Amino acid sequence: MSITFEKVSHIYSDGTPYRFVALSDVDLDIIEGQMTAIVGQTGSGKSTLVQHLNGLLLPASGKINVLDHVIEAGSHPKGLKSLRGKVGLVFQFPEYQLFEETVLKDIAFGPKNFGFTEKEAIEKARHAMKLVSLGKEFEEKSPLELSGGQKRRVAIAGILAMDPQVLVLDEPTAGLDPQGTIQMMELFRELNQKHHKTVLIVTHDMEQVFNYCDRVIVMAKGSVHTHTTCEEFFRDSSLCNSLAILPPALIRMKDALKEKGFTIKDEMEDIHELSKEIAREVKHG
Amino acid sequence: MGNFTLGRYIPLDSPIHRMDPRAKIMAMLFVLIAIFFPAGWIGYGIIFVAVSIVILLGKLSFTYILKSMKPMMFMMFFLLIMNCLVLKTGEPLFTIYSFTVYSDAVFQTLYIVVRLLLMIMITTCLTATTKPLDMTLGIEDLLKPFTKIGVPAHEIAMLISIALRFIPDLIDETTRIIKAQESRGVDLKEGKMKERIMAILSLIVPLFVSAFQRAEDLANAMEARGYAPGEERTRYKVLKMEMRDWILLFCAFLLLVGMIVLSRFK
């Protein structure tokens, strides 16, 4: 089981003056159980790509394989609903999808749609609330009276309650404060490592890619520009520079040091490793 | 949703696109009134040719205009059925299961269909070649004379332009919310009554919330930039009638007079 794209294209408003090719001949192999970042400039096809994963958008040509479901252009795909239960898609600014009277009911909405009984759904909702660290006191509140960050957590919990195997997040931290961003990313890491979920994150933040993700997919003009591991991607900042992407601070620091004559290894996990390298250099030098 | 063509502006560069919106609105009104004079098939033929010339000059494709008629198809079919049931005059044409269809029923329907067709063609000509903002400027100017009897011309124009401005936004928002709820397992096409009500509710509530939010944001943004209704405002874009605008108006007026004359002679 894996997620593969074969020559997938998608065209918006085909046959009108507004025709726009959003994806062209995308070949992709997303590795399960890993945390993959999807980066690229606005309009490069990131959002279009992820909406193919649970069959919200269907390809104009090509074939997609997601968890044993095959979506092929031209044929009407079957079992889309069960696919949507397995691939949880969290949209950008998901707080706009809240509609129930209470937080608990809203989170339980997803599981109920996928055939769980009221009781099971509530149980799953409670569990999801715990995951996103929303306390019991929120259960009976109206989702509309919460703060922006809390609403975001309710919306993400609404998807987590469905217990999907694959979690797809379109800019999940946009508009959150730094504290909320870190908590959110830690949650995704935990879901990936402890609960073995495949996580895909659309993001603009290279620090997130560097600190949390295993692999990175760079989209440009509707096709996959680069698909590689994060270590590989950040080893040489010339790739980032050619894509007009600002590398993470750690990489910039390392580059600056090297320019000044330090000999530092290229693979760098975190700030501690860099400081050790610097200390070693200073002692020797 | 994205394939909704009726009343949409098509960004092209053509003599029709460059015309003064006031002239275009008035010309459209003239021709629309002309359609209501029973000038017979010759009259409709003349109007059709005139409108076709405008479509060609405006670089619009006929298939596009045909497409925008799609929502009307059902109505036309319904009309035909109703007319066949009600109208019993003229020659009997054919009989199905002891039910006779008369020639007048078919002709009456055709008459209405042709009128509708022409009306859609004409209004599409206007909406497809005029930017919504220019349209409201035109409406404001045309309503100016009525401000003396208490018609708030500027406010009406502002209202229309804001409403128009929000249409694409709300369509986008709707598709977005549909997708988000579909990702949560909402099935809009199937399901029991209770589930379907829930599904519709899950769309309407967020849509209302965001529409009100947008309205409030816009009102605040306008106020922050000093907008006050009723106050005298200058305009960035000044409309100017040129030769071609007068020619269009004259032709439309001629068409109207021609139709009146034709209907008298019938």
Amino acid at the residue A70:
V
Q: Which structural domain, as residue segments, surrounds residue B101?
A: 1-132+237-266
Q: What is the CATH number of the domain that holds A126?
A: 3.40.50.300
SS3 state of residue A250: helix
pLDDT band of A117, cuts 50, 70, 90 = very high
For residues B101 and B192, state if they share a domain: no
Residue type, A11: I
Residues in A touching B209 (Cβ below 8 Å): 96, 99, 144
Q: Are residues B101 and B181 in the same domain?
A: no
pLDDT at site B101: 77
Calculate mean pLDDT across residues B204-226: 91
Do B33 and B52 lie in one domain? The reply is yes
Above pLDDT 70, what percent of chain A?
99
- Tokens 């269907």 sit on residue: A58
Residue A262 has pLDDT above 90, yes or no: no
Residues A8 and A126 in one domain: yes
The sign of the dihedral angle between the CA atoms of B195, B196, B197, B199 is positive
For chain B, give the number of residues.
266
Predicted local confidence at residue A227, as pLDDT: 92
| Structural domain count of chain B | 2
Q: B210 and B92 in one domain?
A: no
Residues A76 and A22 in one domain: yes
Token reading at B10: 């098509």
Report which residue type is found at A3: I
Residues of A in contact with B181 (CB under 8 A): 97
The predicted structure's pLDDT at residue B4: 53
Residue B120 sits at the chain A interface (C-beta within 8 Å):
no
| Cα A261 to Cα A237, A247, A254, B59, B90, distances in angstroms | 17, 20, 11, 65, 101
Is residue A119 located within the same domain as residue A240? yes
For a pLDDT cut of 90, what percent of chain B falls above it?
21
One domain, residues B190 and B59: no
Among A221, A149, A225, CA closest to A180: A149
B14 touches chain A (CB under 8 A): no
H, E, C per residue of chain B: CCCCCCCCCCCCCCHHHHCCHHHHHHHHHHHHHHHCCCCHHHHHHHHHHHHHHHHHHCCCCHHHHHHHCHHHHHHHHHHHHHHHHHCCCCCEEEEECCEEEEHHHHHHHHHHHHHHHHHHHHHHHHHHHCCHHHHHHHHHHHHHHHHHHCCCHHHHHHHHHHHHHHHHHHHHHHHHHHHHHHHCCCCCCCCCHHHHHHHHHHHHHHHHHHHHHHHHHHHHHHHHCCCCCCCCCCCCCCCCCCHHHHHHHHHHHHHHHHHHHHHHHC
Question: Same domain for A189 and A267?
Answer: no
Same domain, A139 and A157: yes
Domains held by chain A: number: 2
B19, B127: one domain: yes
Does one domain contain both A260 and A210?
Answer: no
The CA-CA-CA angle for residues A106, A111, A113, to 5°, reads 90
Task: Verify that A238 and A260 share a domain, yes or no.
Answer: no
Q: B174 pLDDT exceeds 80? A: yes
**B interface test, pick of A66, A113, A156, A163 with most B CB neighbours within 10 Å:** A113
Structure tokens at A255: 């580059």
The separation between the first and the last C-alpha atoms of chain A, rounded to the nearest angstrom, is 52
Residue B3 to residue A16, Cβ atoms within 8 A: yes
The 3 state secondary structure assigned to A157-210 is HHHHCCCCCEEEEECCCCCCCHHHHHHHHHHHHHHHHCCCCEEEEECCCHHHHH
Q: Which residues contact B11 (CB under 8 A, 6 or more apart)?
A: A17
B96 CB neighbour count, 10 Å cutoff: 8
Task: Report how far Cα A76 is from the mean position of its chain's Cα atoms.
Answer: 27
- Give yes or no: residues B45 and B92 share one domain: yes
Provide the ipTM.
0.86
Instruction: Say yes or no: B171 contacts chain A, CB-CB below 8 A.
Output: no
**B198-214, pLDDT tens digit by residue?**
888 889 999 998 899 89
Domain assignment of residue A63, given as a range: 3-246
Residue with the two structure tokens 């707080």: A95
Residue A84 sits at the chain B interface (C-beta within 8 Å): yes
- pLDDT tens for A228-248 read 998 888 887 788 888 888 888
Q: Give the CA distances from residue B30 to residues B15, B25, B88, B128, in Å, rounded to whole numbers and listed in that order.
A: 20, 9, 34, 18
Report pLDDT digits (tens) over B56-88.
888 888 887 777 777 777 888 888 888 887 877
Residue type at B75?
Answer: M
Mean pLDDT computed over every residue of chain A? 89
Minimal CA separation from B164 to chain A, in Å: 19
Angle between helices B40-57 and B243-265 (to 10 degrees): 170
Amino acid at A260: K
Looking at the structure, do residues A149 and A285 belong to the same domain, yes or no?
Answer: no
Q: Are A153 and A130 in contact (CB under 8 A)?
A: no
CA B1 to chain centre: 17
Sole residue written with tokens 């405006």: B58
From edge to edge, which strands make up the β-sheet containing A215-220? A87-90, A166-170, A198-202, A35-39, A215-220, A223-229
Does B258 reside within a domain?
Answer: yes
In-domain check, residue B144: no
Q: Does B197 touch chain A (CB under 8 A)?
A: no
Please report residues of A whose CB lies closer than 8 A to that of B202: 97, 99, 109
pLDDT computed for residue B135 by the predictor: 87
Q: Please check whether residues A84 and A31 belong to one and the same domain.
A: yes
Q: Does B216 lie in the same domain as B169?
A: yes
How far from the centroid of its chain's Cα atoms is residue B246's Cα? 24
For residues A233 and A279, membership in a common domain is answered with no
User: Quick one: pLDDT at residue B136?
Assistant: 86
Tell me how far apart the terminal alpha carbons of chain B are, to the nearest angstrom. Answer: 45
Task: Provide the β-strand partners of residue A37.
Answer: A201, A216
Angle at B20 between CA B52 and CA B54, to 5 degrees: 5
Check residue B6 and give its pLDDT: 60
Query: Does A81 contact B3 at a Cβ distance shorter than 8 Å?
Result: no
Most A CBs within 10 A among B6, B66, B175, B183, hence the mutation to make, goes to: B183
- Whether B221 has a pLDDT exceeding 60, the answer reads yes
Q: What confidence tens digit (pLDDT) does each residue in A202-214 have? A: 998 898 999 899 9
Whether residue A30 is found in the same domain as residue A166: yes
- The structure tokens listed for B113 are 């269909």
Averaged pLDDT score across all residues of chain B: 85
Any domain includes B120: yes
Residue B137 lies in a domain: no
Residue B138 lies in a domain: no
Q: Which residues of A touch B183 (CB under 8 A)?
A: 54, 56, 84, 88-91, 159
The three-state (H, E, C) secondary structure of A45-101, written as one string: CHHHHHHHCCCCCCCCEEEEEECCEEEECCCCCCCHHHHHHHEEEECCCHHHHCCCC
3-state secondary structure of A135: coil
In terms of domains, do A132 and A272 share one? no
